Structure 1
Amino acid sequence: MAVLLSFAAWMQWPLWPCTFAEATGLPCPGCGLTRATSALFHGEWRASWQFHPFAGGFLLGGIFVIAAALLPSERVETLAATVEGIERRTKLPAIFLVAVLCFGLLRMLGFWYQPEVGNFSGRFLKGPVSSKTQHTGQ
């Protein structure tokens, strides 16, 4: 889903607004992920980081899932067992989720760039990002 949304943002297709942002007036913990991933695809690392610092992690996860879907079934079982073992030892998925939620909370409190909520035609283009990214959405 994230890859499809990122492709749509890269193509500058209009996307639907965030329901959480519409209801509360605050950015959700995931607000900015699509624009951040699109910025990654364009090689705009700084802009991606400003939109959402966890976009790279979500993109890698999506690529991993797609790659696993293309493997033969016997390899998928081996890969799943390996990943499960790593997850149990490191607790990485739980740590990642907690970090994303903490980031979302800190952004809601104003400690990180906040997208302008209410201007859904280009709300993520209002912050301190590269001139190339600001120019592409409007």
Structure 2
Amino acid sequence: MVIHAEADEFWSYVGDTSHQRWTWYALERETGIILAHQNGKRTDAMCEQLLNKLRLFPIRSYSTDNWQSYAKYIPSAQHHIGKDQTWKIERMNLNFRTHLKRLHRKTICFSKHETLHDTVIGLYIERHHYKNFSYAKS
């Protein structure tokens, strides 16, 4: 099985907007299944951690936005940059914000602790993307 992955990150905050929290993740384009996710800061190290998790999969190509961290760790022959290649993951970002009120940009429902914030996002991904999926079925 050859996988084409889309990778992106979205912004949220814990406590107040000065405490930024980023969720990095990658999905398989054909099925929309999230392959891996990582919460933290918007740094090269976080990008590298996400891409290390993806090494378990036979990924032939990656599509990302123009964030410079991706170009540092993805070989240019495998890397496609542009919004025309990331429409599926950008739609998924909107789904996250729609389903999880704590991810809205302006809300009174926000996370107070990083651990709880990361756990809620992880549970959402588990429930909506991993629950009934197995690569053995493919």
In the superposition, the TM-score normalised over structure 1's length comes to 0.30
Which of the pair is proportionally richer in helix?
1
Higher share of residues assigned strand = 2
Larger-Rg structure: 1
User: Using CA pairs below 8 Å that are at least 6 residues apart, which structure has the higher relative contact order?
Assistant: 1
